[in-house]
Amino acid sequence: MAKKLVTDLDVAGKKVIVRVDFNVPHKGDVITDDNRIVAALPTIRYLLENNAKVILLSHLGKVDYKKTEEEIEAAKKKNNMAIVAAKLQEYLPDNKVIFVDATRGEDLEKAVADMKEGEVVLMQNTRYEKGESKNEETLGRYWASLGDLFVEDAFGSVHRAHASTVGIPTVLRSAAGFLVEKELKFLGDAVENPVRPFVGILGGAKVADKLKVINNLLEKCDTLIIGGGMAYTFLKAQGKEIGGSLVDDEKLEYCKEMLDKAAALGKELLLPIDTVVADAFPDPIDAEIETEIVDVDSIPADKQGLDIGPKTAELFAEKVKAAKTVVWNGPMGVFENPVLAKGTNAVAKALAECEGTTIIGGGDSAAAIKQLGYADKVSHVSTGGGASLEFLEGNGLPGVDILDEK
């Protein structure tokens, strides 16, 4: 059944807790990419325009409670939400944004109690609380006590059953925000009701990271393209010599099974036909590097593959440009290095030129398409890498599943 949307709630005069994804990259006090803040603005502005009092919760970075007290405090200092509050205020010049440097207690409770309609309270990093990632019931109930309604708009966190994503809506009436609605629509339509031909593209390092995605997409799509480091495990499963290329030997049988499954289903599973090789992985990652291009049947024993070759790039691009639906998750090579970004660039360019629905499944693919300048030329760039993968695997999303049905 369909989930309630923020537009289904009567928010006027209500304190609405919104779980947003403000986990933005930053260097010191400077936010280097504010796309996640911008992505949350439609829901925040809708609530403010409809006279709600908006309480925002988000995590920022990681706090590892297995480390020493000194390391934990350093992580908290590094991931203070104050920098996000300042940036959010720039985007909401007509509304007061109040930052509360606390995740519970008198200061937070007073700030919420004193709120006026059209004001925003941004609470300190949810991961300052040890019980957040454990979905501690008392923490979820405490945060829920601060508001009247809950809106989930952090697609990048809905695959995690945390106190701020699952604990709060266990108590309060809830709905999805505009960003979560958009993500579910694009990914849901692509996987469950695609316009064909439907092409899936998977890259990245390890087969193990995408076992269920490969299996699920093979059943859904017409063509599955495999690139990146994971392609070499498939090539080895075909009996090819891959030199020093990245390989997941424990998944060779799985790759053989997937190749057999594709053949049995009449699906096309495309692997590289040529590759860019070098003596070693670049260190640092953007260092100058000498490469050569070889067919995948001729990878030298002392070389390793680090990107798809030009013939493969052309083959993959042709398939992408002819598709009506494309979902891409994972780069074709070490795209952080200019010399090894050509394969990823070719696929990104093909997506930009494709006239069908083109969806980037978050993570490194999203970073690559933005870095290469094609983000505004595709249909949708997901804000959640982990959540996108869970969705593509066919799994439920705890932070969505808990929301009220229409």
* Residue 365: per-residue pLDDT: 85
Catalytic residue among 206, 240, 370, 377: 206
* Residue 312: per-residue pLDDT: 98
Taking the C-alpha atoms of residue 251 and residue 208, their distance in angstroms, rounded to an integer, is 7
Burial string for 372-402 (b: 16+ CB within 10 Å, else e) reads: bebbeebebbbbbbbbbbbbbbeeebbbbeb
Catalytic residue among 118, 256, 370, 386: 386
* Residue 113: per-residue pLDDT: 98
CATH number for the domain running over 184-392: 3.40.50.1260
Phi-psi region of 204 (alpha: psi -120 to 50; beta: other; left: phi over 0): left
Is residue 36 part of the annotated active site? The answer reads yes
Is residue 206 part of the annotated active site? The answer reads yes
Distances (CA, A) of 92 to 86, 111, 118: 10, 19, 10
Catalytic residue among 177, 363, 385, 399: 363
* Residue 349: per-residue pLDDT: 95
Q: Where are the domains of the chain?
A: 6-176, 184-392
Find out whether 399 and 161 touch, Cβ atoms under 8 Å: yes
Pick from 389, 329, 360: nearest CA to 158: 389
* Residue 41: per-residue pLDDT: 98
Find out whether 343 and 332 touch, Cβ atoms under 8 Å: yes
Taking the C-alpha atoms of residue 50 and residue 216, their distance in angstroms, rounded to an integer, is 41
Tell the CATH topology of 6-176.
Rossmann fold (3.40.50)
How many beta carbons lie within 10 A of that of residue 336, not counting itself?
17
Catalytic residue among 36, 210, 220, 342: 36
pLDDT by 10-residue block (mean), the chain, 406 residues: 92 98 92 92 98 98 92 94 97 98 97 96 97 97 98 96 98 98 91 94 87 92 96 97 95 96 97 97 94 97 97 98 96 94 95 96 82 90 86 90 96
Take residue 263 and report the two structure tokens written for it.
């053949």
How many beta carbons lie within 10 A of that of residue 197, not counting itself?
16
Three-state SS string across the chain, please?
CCECEHHHCCCCCCEEEEECCCCCCEECCEECCCHHHHHHHHHHHHHHHCCCEEEEECCCCCCCCCCCHHHHHHHHHHCCCHHHHHHHHHHCCCCCEEEECCCCCHHHHHHHHCCCCCCEEEECCHHHCCCCCCCCHHHHHHHHCCCCEEEECCHHHCCCCCHHHHHHHHHCEEEECHHHHHHHHHHHHHHHCCCCCEEEEECCCCHHHHHHHHHHHHHHCCEEEECCCCHHHHHHHCCCCCCCCCCCHHHHHHHHHHHHHHHHHCCEEECCCEEEEECCCCCCCCCCCCCEEEEHHHCCCCCEEEEECHHHHHHHHHHHHCCCEEEEECCCCCCCCHHHCHHHHHHHHHHHHCCCEEEECCHHHHHHHHHCCCHHHCCEECCCHHHHHHHHCCCCCHHHHCCCEC
Is residue 229 part of the annotated active site? The answer reads no
- Please state the pTM of the whole predicted model: 0.88
Is residue 256 part of the annotated active site? The answer reads no
